[in-house]
Structure formats: C-alpha cells, structure tokens
C-alpha cells in the first residue's frame, strides 16, 4: 500500500500497538475475547459449515485471525490491516516458539477494508472486529461492497463493533465512562489522545438499524443487529445471496 493512501488512524494505532491487547482485556474485563468467539460461532452457523477460506479485515494484532486458525484447522486464514505496527505484534505472536502451529498458517498483509486486495468470490467468511468505525465514514459503504465482492455466494460478512447499551440509564453511564473514564485510564498506559479519539468514534458510530441498512444497500441479506453484553457491543451480519435466490 502506498504511503499517501494510508488511513488517518495509522499514526494513532502505531502508538497504541504495544499496549492494545492489554488495554482491551482490562477495559472490557476480558469480554472482548468472548465477543470475538461469539462472532465466529455465529458466522459458522450462518454459513452452515466451516469455511474453506476466511479473511479478517482490520485484524490489528490478530486476535480474530488466531481464533479462526485454531477453530478451523483446514481453513485458509488471511489477516489484513493498514497499520504495520499492529501487524508486527500479530506476526511476532504467531511466530513465538511455543505458539500453536495453527498460527503459522495465517497470512498477514497490509491493506484497508475499502479496497480489498483479494479476487472476486474467493472467500467464505469476512470479519471486521472493532475496526469498522475506523474506516472513514465516506468509505464504509464501499467497504461493505468490497466484502460482498470477495465473498462466494452464500458467504458471510460480520461486523463486530462497540456501541451504546439499549437501556437508557446504562447508556448514560456508559457515555460518561467513555468520555471521561476510559481515555483517562488508558492514558496511564498509552497516548491519551488516541483513546479520546477511540471513545468519540464509538459515540459517533451510526445506530444499529442504519448499519443494517448499509449492508442491505451493499447487496447483503442483512440479519437483525445482535446486541452483546446489553449492547456494549453489536454484531452485524450479512449473507451474500446464493445465485438461485
Ligand atoms: C481497534 S483495532 C481492532 C483490531 C482487531 N480487529 C481486534 O479485534 O482487536 C482497529 C484496527 O483498524 C485498523 N484500521 C484503521 N483504518 C482502517 C481501514 N480503513 N481499513 C481497515 N482497517 C483499518 C487499525 O489499523 C487498527 O488496527
């Protein structure tokens, strides 16, 4: 990828990379791993089988790609992300002497979600976990269309994204924590400005119904958005229609 095509968040994620997984685990009390596992369970059910090939966009330090490689031993797994520093952490983890051999099969590449460097109709499952809100707003529809292009008919696209709880009281508390608590806490370990931006990007993310509409506009059969942990996180799922539909 050429330098001038890099998304504006690359510098931010370069600073955050060394502490990213630690801060995720602490700030979600370990729920983040459960959310990713649930996403993969649901992808497998919606596909109706294990995928032959899977692509994790915005893979970051590679958590989802490693989960895919572990649970689907015969699947070709590719993880892409525009931030080289995040991919360095992913590659280092996959290459450690004691890590499962499954991790070494993962292919890591630099790339953005709105321009996927993968042939048409070549993948069964495409995921993007906590990365869709980092795709520039004007590019999100294009990213959904790109996921549709690379999926085989019947393939599944899953967006896992932080959001706001449905219950009003919880939502108020959560908003407050996002604005003031989260950046202050994360700022003890990583640049605070990065977490100010991340918190704001959660607050600015479209309502679940609008994400579903975007998937439909791209050509997916869009499922009802599914809240996890009272709506702290949402799963959006689209299935590429089969040719005979
Ligand atoms: C919060 S991290 C998520 C990492 C990982 N998927 C996870 O589950 O923890 C967001 C990632 O989105 C990536 N990103 C930013 N802009 C992007 C874009 N336009 N396309 C794809 N990924 C992007 C960042 O580099 C970063 O690694």
In tens, the pLDDT along 6-46 reads: 888 898 899 889 888 888 888 888 899 999 999 999 999 99
User: 2.40.160.20, 3.90.180.10, 3.30.70.890, 3.40.50.150: which CATH number matches 3-7+31-165+206-239?
Assistant: 3.40.50.150
Q: Is 153's pLDDT higher than 60?
A: yes
Q: Which helix (H) or strand (E) holds 84?
A: helix 84-95
3 pLDDT band, cuts 50/70/90, is very low
pLDDT band at 142 (very low <50, low <70, confident <90, very high): very high
Does position 67 have pLDDT exceeding 80, yes or no? yes
Q: How confident is the model at residue 2 (pLDDT cuts 50, 70, 90)?
A: very low
Average of per-residue pLDDT values in the chain: 92
Q: Is 233 in the pocket of ligand 1 (CB under 6 A)?
A: no
CB 86 near ligand 1, within 6 Å: yes
pLDDT tens-digit map of 73-96: 999 999 999 999 999 999 998 888
Question: Best of 81, 86, 87, 91 to mutate for ligand 1, by most ligand atoms within 8 A of CB?
Answer: 81
Among 2, 17, 10, CA closest to 189: 17
Establish whether residue 162 lines the binding site of ligand 1, counting it when its CB lies within 6 angstroms of any ligand atom. no
pTM above 0.85, yes or no: yes
On the question of pLDDT at 1 being above 80, the answer is no
pLDDT tens for each residue of 167-178: 888 888 888 888
Sequence-separated (6 or more) residues with CB below 8 Å from residue 114: 135, 136, 139, 140, 142, 143, 146
Higher pLDDT, 194 or 237: 237
What is the rounded radius of gyration, in angstroms, for the C-alpha atoms of the chain?
Answer: 17
Q: Atom 17 in ligand 1: which residue has the minimum CA distance?
A: 135
Distances (CA, A) of 185 to 24, 60, 195, 201: 12, 21, 9, 17
């Amino acid at each position: 990828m050429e330098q001038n095509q890099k998304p504006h968040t690359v510098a931010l994620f370069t600073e955050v990379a060394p502490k990213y997984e630690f801060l995720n685990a602490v700030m979600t009390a370990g729920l983040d791993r459960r959310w990713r596992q649930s996403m993969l369970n649901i992808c497998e059910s919606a596909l109706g089988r294990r995928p032959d090939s899977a692509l994790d966009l915005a893979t970051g330090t590679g958590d989802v790609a490693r989960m895919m490689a572990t649970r689907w031993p015969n699947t070709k797994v590719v993880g892409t992300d525009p931030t080289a520093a995040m991919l360095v952490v992913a590659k280092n983890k996959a290459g450690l002497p004691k890590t499962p051999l499954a991790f070494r099969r993962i292919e890591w590449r630099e790339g953005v979600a709105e321009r996927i460097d993968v042939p048409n109709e070549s993948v069964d499952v495409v995921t993007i976990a906590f990365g869709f809100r980092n795709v520039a707003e004007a590019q999100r529809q294009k990213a959904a269309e790109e996921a549709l292009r690379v999926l085989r008919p019947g393939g599944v696209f899953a967006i896992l994204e932080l959001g706001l709880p449905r219950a009003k009281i919880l939502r108020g508390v959560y908003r407050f924590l996002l604005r003031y608590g989260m950046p202050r806490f994360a700022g003890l370990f990583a640049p605070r400005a990065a977490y100010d931006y991340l918190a704001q990007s959660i607050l600015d993310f479209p309502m679940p119904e609008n994400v579903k509409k975007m998937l439909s506009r791209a050509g997916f059969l869009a499922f009802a958005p599914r809240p996890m942990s009272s709506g702290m996180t949402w799963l959006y799922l689209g299935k590429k229609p089969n040719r005979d539909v």
